[in-house]
Structure 1
Amino acid sequence: MASLSVHSDRLEIHLTRTERTLALRRDSIVVQRENIRSVIITEDPWIWLRGIRSPGSMIPLVLAAGTWKFHGGKDFVSIKRHRPAVVIDLVDEEFARVILTSQHAADFVDSLKLPVEPMPAEPTS
């Protein structure tokens, strides 16, 4: 399973050697945190697939790894069986969406949350 590293300015997705081979990808995926639009946890990652595989590997309902191209761009997918997964919607990145199965999906979502800073008071006239 891919390992996720959350930094103050970026998210790094480090693929295992097997995932890189199946996805036909050499490098890790790095996205800027400011480009993450939303993150959700899903029990059925297969319903989130859109478009066609290009390049990558797929055994329906067992394994999907690689790039899925669709009319509006492309997604990166690394899902296995019917395990919980995170769906990360992105803007201004290589991929429009990243879908990854993860045993630690809830912890990952919590780690992305930034502390909320209080809004400065508006000056009164």
Structure 2
Amino acid sequence: MASLSVHSDRLEIHLTRTERTLALRRDSIVVQRESIRSVIITEDPWIWLRGIRSLGSIIPLIVAAGTWKFHGGKDFVSIKRHRPAVVIDLVDEEFARVILTSQHAADFIDSLKLPAPPTGPTT
């Protein structure tokens, strides 16, 4: 399962060796935090696939890894069976959406939340 590293300015998605092989991808995926439009948790990641597999592997309802192209761009997918996953919608990045199976989806979403700006009296 991919590991997610949240930094103050970016999100790094480090794929396992198996995921890199299945996805036919060498590098980690790095996205700027300001490019993240929304993040949700889904119980059925398969319904979020759109378009056709361009580069990668799929065994329907078992595993999907790689790039899926659709009319508006491309998505990166790394999902396994019917496990919970995060769906990350992006703007101005290599991928329009990243879908990843994750056991720690709720913790990941919490780590993306920015602290609220301090509020105080205005003068």
- TM-score normalised by the chain length of structure 2: 0.94
1:124 aligned counterpart, secondary structure: coil
Deviation at 1:123, TM superposition (A): 11
1:122 aligned counterpart, secondary structure: coil
Structure 1 residues 72 and 113: alpha-carbon distance in aligned structure 2, compared to 1, 3 A threshold: same
Structure 1 residues 121 and 103: alpha-carbon distance in aligned structure 2, compared to 1, 3 A threshold: closer
Structure 1 residues 124 and 98: alpha-carbon distance in aligned structure 2, compared to 1, 3 A threshold: closer
Q: Distance in 2 between matches of 1:123 and 1:83?
A: 47
Deviation at 1:8, TM superposition (A): 0.1
Q: How does 1:75-86 map to 2 (within 5 A)?
A: 75-86=75-86
Q: Distance in 1 between matches of 2:92 and 2:16?
A: 25
* Percentage identity across paired residues of the two chains: 93
Q: Distance in 1 between matches of 2:120 and 2:111?
A: 31
4+ long deviations beyond 2 Å: 120-125
Q: Distance in 2 between matches of 1:113 and 1:122?
A: 21
1:121 aligned counterpart, secondary structure: coil
Structure 1 residues 123 and 64: alpha-carbon distance in aligned structure 2, compared to 1, 3 A threshold: same
Q: Distance in 1 between matches of 2:122 and 2:10?
A: 38
Q: Distance in 2 between matches of 1:121 and 1:23?
A: 45
Q: Distance in 1 between matches of 2:108 and 2:50?
A: 24
Structure 1 residues 123 and 109: alpha-carbon distance in aligned structure 2, compared to 1, 3 A threshold: closer
Structure 1 residues 80 and 124: alpha-carbon distance in aligned structure 2, compared to 1, 3 A threshold: closer
Deviation at 1:53, TM superposition (A): 0.3
Rg larger for: 1
- TM-score normalised by the chain length of structure 1: 0.92
Q: How many residues align?
A: 121
Alignment RMSD (CA, Å): 1.8
Q: Distance in 2 between matches of 1:38 and 1:58?
A: 26
Deviation at 1:89, TM superposition (A): 0.1
